[in-house]
Amino acid sequence: MSESDKKFYEENGYLIVRNVLTEEQVAFLRKRFLDIWETDEWKVCESNTDRNLVDLYKYFPEVMRLTLTKDVVDIAKYLIGEDHLVLIPETAAMKGFYPTWHKDTTTPERYGHTFHLRPDFKVIRCGFYLQNNNEYGGGLSVFEGSHKTPDNLVGDFPERTLLTRIKDRLTSNAEEKSKFLNPHNLKLVDIPSHAGDLVFFNFKIVHKGTLPRSQRIADVPEDMTKVAMFDIFGANNEPTKLYIDFLKTRPESLYSFAKNPKKSQEFEDHMKDIGLDVDLA
């Protein structure tokens, strides 16, 4: 990492770190995750589904050794500008997911929380995408710099009629030109990540899963099925604690793990080895 990398992240809200995983590691992780989903192994945690794995490292420590490394933590510390970080218990792996535009703070703001508006809220997400972001849509799209703007997505999305759908298809760069999605006229970027790259992005940047360009999601070739995993790091301070407390209140079954987290001495030992705080201050 260099000062120019950090400046790029601070200005744009994201950063690609190239070749963090080798081709062999990418192949191993893709096969491992797909095998978990294609068998009943994903049922090891009641919060999991056949497309989502949560609290990942406590159930699959072989993944932890590859992706949750001291190098990754050191980059997060450098970009956030804090020496004491915690791993927010929202680590997950996902298959074939294409969420629509949002900030990762949109949901808590809808519930009336404001901890993410504090200047000491320092949280960063990073994602390993196990395929290239290309015509099949294997990565992330963002509005550059939107981490510095208010969240206009907290309210309801405007109704999409047949007429507006047709208009959007006929309009070049319709999302970038949308006054609702992009009221600040920011640049829409499909982040050009490759399999094995690590993408860091600010928790408050507007983003979505990059959609396939040349076919429907259902027609994406099997060997290009979108597989990715995510970690979230936060400064060891009160706003991070408030976000973790919010996770425990979420009603979705996917978040039930946050209420009764699994204990793992192997996980805690690894956290200490790579320089993460085990307990909140």
Q: What is the pLDDT along the chain (281 residues), one digit of tens a residue?
A: 899 999 999 999 999 999 999 999 999 999 999 999 999 999 999 999 999 999 999 999 999 999 999 999 999 999 999 999 999 999 999 999 898 999 999 999 999 999 999 999 999 999 999 999 999 999 999 999 999 999 999 987 666 555 555 455 545 589 999 999 999 999 999 999 999 999 999 999 999 999 998 778 888 888 899 999 999 999 999 999 999 999 999 999 999 999 988 999 999 999 999 999 999 98
183: left (phi > 0), else alpha (psi -120 to 50), else beta?
alpha
Give the DSSP H or E segment for 76: helix 70-80
Dist. CA 217–CA 205, nearest whole Å: 24
H-only helix segments in 104-229:
106-110, 162-170, 174-177
Query: What is residue 195's three-state secondary structure?
Result: coil
Q: Which residues neighbour 19 within 8 Å (Cβ) at sequence distance 6 or greater? A: 194, 196, 197
CATH 3.30.420.40 fits 3-273, yes or no: no
Token pair, residue 157, equals 């999305």
Tell me how many degrees the CA angle 70-14-33 measures, rounded to the nearest 5.
Answer: 60
Q: DSSP state, 41?
A: G
pTM: 0.93
